[in-house]
Amino acid sequence: MLRPLTSLFCLLIACAVMPAQDAAEPKPDAKAQLEAAQKLVKQLSPGVFDLNGIQITAATRELRIPCSILHQKLPIEYALCHETGEKVHETVLETKVRPIQIQLALLLANYQPATLGILEKLDPKAERPYNAKDTEPKTPGANRIAIHVEWKDGDKTKNVPLSDFIQNIEKRKTPDDLDTWIFNGSIIDETGFAAEQTGSIISTYVDRAAIINSAAKGNERDDLWISMPANIPAEETKVTLIITPAK
């Protein structure tokens, strides 16, 4: 069963707003953005819903988001951005789906935004990328997700972890700890819902404006991650990003 809009908005505000010293008073239009997104939800069949191209399966909490390959070979800060985002020159995937709609779909599927886990592998001697105290989901682990990418290769369907598209520039391999991602939820700041302004959806380094962050060791660095061209289909290939609960 999908959550009602009122509870979703309260959850969005409670988990997204940074403390006063880190962000200005949130703009009221964040609620209007969420309400507009909510109106796009349509039921396709019992337990299956569509939100502007995002397919939500209530029983499994699976989200399927239409995307395409933007870049095969480049240094990356993001795995997924909106097609008009500020960081499209540093992302493997892009989507036409708006960030606010992706956040709403995650909330509808009963994922709970919280920052707990993002910095669990941060070196104690390293500077924290953000000052706010980490928030916890009401249900333990409800902000931890698995992400896969699916596409057609001739008559075959390929399905691989999103981490297969990413490598550590120093080790030249996919990080062993990049199988689980953190749904932290984008912040609401003086610009409104931040991800709507930046287009940042899935970040490989810590970015509180992004909706989802990596929890891999070294994620405080924006110069550590590059794409893994050998594992990425051709640019402009249509793919589906699949989000499920982390195991």
- In 3D, which of 44, 43, 47 has the Cα closest to residue 59? 47
- Contact indicator for 149, 240 with CB cutoff of 8 Å: yes
Predicted pLDDT at 13: 45
How much of the chain is helix, strand and coil, in % rounded to 5? 20, 30, 50
- How far is it, in rounded angstroms, from Cα 143 to Cα 183? 5
User: What are the CA-CA distances from residue 236 to residues 33, 68, 92, 95, 174 (Å)?
Assistant: 29, 6, 10, 11, 23
| pTM score over 0.85 | yes
Residue 2 sits at φ, ψ, to 5 deg, of -80, 145
- In 3D, which of 64, 19, 26 has the Cα closest to residue 189? 26
- Contact indicator for 174, 180 with CB cutoff of 8 Å: no
- In 3D, which of 23, 55, 64, 57 has the Cα closest to residue 186? 23
pLDDT profile of the chain (247 residues), mean per 10: 52 44 49 80 94 97 98 98 97 97 96 98 93 95 98 97 97 91 93 92 97 96 96 98 97
Predicted pLDDT at 18: 41
- How far is it, in rounded angstroms, from Cα 166 to Cα 175? 8
DSSP element (H, E) containing 42: strand 41-45
Predicted pLDDT at 39: 87
- How far is it, in rounded angstroms, from Cα 235 to Cα 145? 26
- Contact indicator for 214, 176 with CB cutoff of 8 Å: no
Predicted pLDDT at 3: 59
Q: What is the CA radius of gyration of the chain?
A: 17
